[in-house]
Amino acid sequence: MTGGAQVVVVGGGLAGLAAAVLAARRGASVTLVEREATLGGLLASVHYPDAGWFDWGTHIPATVGDAELDEAIVCALPASERAHLGPAAAGSYSFGALCPGTNWPSVRNLPRDVQDRGLVELIEAAPNEIAHNCADSLRAEFGETFGGHLGAALERLFGVEMSALAPGANRLFGAARIVASTAVAAAELKQVPRLDRALAFHDQRVGATDVERVYPKRGGVGAWFQAIVDGARSLGVRVLTSTQIVGVDVRGRAIAALTTASGESLAADLVVWSVPMQPLVRFLDGPTPPLPQFRRAGVVHYLTDRPYATDRWYITVYDPNALAFRVTLYGNVDGDATHGHRVTVEFLVRDMSELPSASAVREELVGMGIIDSAAGLREVGRLDAVHGFPIPTPGFYDAMEAARAHIDAAVDNVALVGRARGQDFFMNEVLVGVAREIRTRLGSERA
């Protein structure tokens, strides 16, 4: 497919917008369709006059080592509008201890005899054995002891037992590796490829690639996303919001056009589908896969009246007894404490009524070593992300695979990216996947 192709992108989140930008840079005529009134999904920010900017959760974009993606997407904001961020400064809270050097779950606060037994099991683990569910895959990757403790921490986040989840579901919450043993011993064990995949360095800066982390000086991550939108429009991308696709016109083995709810027909040489594929499968007369169950994300914004007790940008919580899932400390990222010290805490719940009180959250943050024991904590707002995190069961993945197979068998001009793939959970994975699809379909050379 050459330049001048007509491309319709369905979905205005990061995957869809990146696809639109990359396609337009190759000379395509691009129309982006989003059913909501605004673009970006959870890559948005909210402003409170007396408290400042807060995001819908933790989002700190980073370069991916791809020149085009880094230029057009990650660094869409001018350098003068980006906060200068040094080396990665994430942290984790695992089994009763704050681990300031890494965002991986750590088992180093478990009792010594448990650690010793777990390390032997990890070294002797059999990662190639057949795993029917996530409990199996955790045991195969990390051994019975560490796999069991990690599973207990993740069950709090997923809200279901690990045996009900698909193998590898732990990766959805960034738990692909663990921190164990001493820093020196872990570095030695990581010389073995299998153990390298299971163990993390104690300091995330060790062995890290040279990446630039991007965050706006003002406006939150929403300002970054808006810069990408502005870049897309400057390339001629037509953006249709509050617009829904209600049908497709299939000719031969291609979708020739998509029909909107208003009756407009959008001609297409290539369709980039970045939202759940259920409607597309239905349009193509296939077996519609069920929507997954979701773990609701309750996002609560606070102000604390004292400087944070840690220099971390954000902390992911892997603890079976904790309330929070993730904590973002904006002042450590953008340096702004105009209204006070801003904190966002994400909770994974069935219903927003489960959200804890500000006093309970304050007690937990103090106990974790995140805010000072003398600090106050005031809630300034909350957001309800109904579709926070999918609960990936084996049945859901099987249905997704059947849906993808049906689409591939029916038409040749559909590229599935982002949420439609159901496999890319993190920002860099999404961007790399989008670039791969666009370059395969439209060529690697820019117009």
Question: pLDDT above 70 covers what percent of the chain?
Answer: 97
Residue 48 lies in a domain: no
Residue 275 lies in a domain: yes
Same domain, 169 and 256: no
pLDDT at residue 424 greater than cutoff 70: no
Which residues, listed in sequence order, are joined to residue 302 by a DSSP beta bridge?
343, 379
Same domain, 336 and 370: yes
103 vs 288: which has the higher pLDDT: 103
pLDDT of res. 19: 98
pLDDT of res. 126: 79
Residue 285 lies in a domain: yes
The residue among 427, 337, 80, 424 whose CA lies nearest residue 227 is 80
pLDDT of res. 444: 86
CA–CA distance, 387 with 424 (Å, rounded to integer): 16
pLDDT at residue 128 greater than cutoff 90: no
pLDDT at residue 130 greater than cutoff 80: yes
Same domain, 300 and 282: no
pLDDT of res. 3: 62
pLDDT at residue 22 greater than cutoff 90: yes
12-34 mean pLDDT: 97
Question: pLDDT above 90 covers what percent of the chain?
Answer: 77
What phi and psi values does residue 52 have, to the nearest 5 degrees? Answer: 100, -160
pLDDT of res. 308: 97
pLDDT of res. 1: 60
- What 3-state class would DSSP assign to 250? strand
| Dihedral of the alpha carbons of 368, 371, 372, 375, in degrees to the nearest 10 | -130
The residue among 431, 429, 394 whose CA lies nearest residue 169 is 394
Same domain, 274 and 405: yes
**DSSP 8-state symbol, 430:** H
CA–CA distance, 263 with 398 (Å, rounded to integer): 34
pLDDT in tens, 397-414: 888 888 899 999 999 999
| CATH number, position 10 | 3.50.50.60
Task: Provide the mean pLDDT of the chain.
Answer: 92
pLDDT of res. 207: 64
**Which tokens hold the place of 149?**
């403790």
Residue 94 lies in a domain: no
105-122 mean pLDDT: 96
Same domain, 268 and 402: yes
Residue 383 lies in a domain: yes
Same domain, 166 and 232: no
Residue 86 lies in a domain: no
What phi and psi values does residue 251 have, to the nearest 5 degrees? Answer: -130, 115
CA–CA distance, 167 with 231 (Å, rounded to integer): 39
pLDDT at residue 233 greater than cutoff 60: yes
pLDDT at residue 89 greater than cutoff 60: yes
pLDDT of res. 209: 64
pLDDT of res. 34: 97
Range of the domain at 31: 6-43+61-77+216-289+394-442
Please tell me the total count of domains within the chain: 3
* β-strand pairing of 29-33 with 6-10: parallel
Neighbours of 164 (CB within 10 A): 18
pLDDT at residue 423 greater than cutoff 70: no
Q: Which of 2-6, 164-168, 275-279 ranks highest by mean pLDDT?
A: 164-168
Same domain, 132 and 176: yes
CA–CA distance, 375 with 356 (Å, rounded to integer): 18
Residue 405 lies in a domain: yes
Which residues, listed in sequence order, are joined to residue 6 by a DSSP beta bridge?
29
pLDDT band with cut points at 50, 70 and 90 for residue 208: low
Last residue of a domain, one of 365, 390, 415: 390
pLDDT of res. 389: 77
pLDDT in tens, 27-79: 999 999 999 999 998 899 999 999 999 999 889 999 999 999 999 999 999 99
Same domain, 149 and 268: no
pLDDT at residue 211 greater than cutoff 90: no
CB distance 437 to 19 below 8 Å: yes
**Which tokens hold the place of 142?**
């990390």
CB distance 199 to 180 below 8 Å: yes
Same domain, 330 and 380: yes
pLDDT at residue 190 greater than cutoff 60: yes
pLDDT in tens, 353-411: 999 999 999 999 999 999 999 999 999 999 987 667 788 898 888 888 888 999 999 99
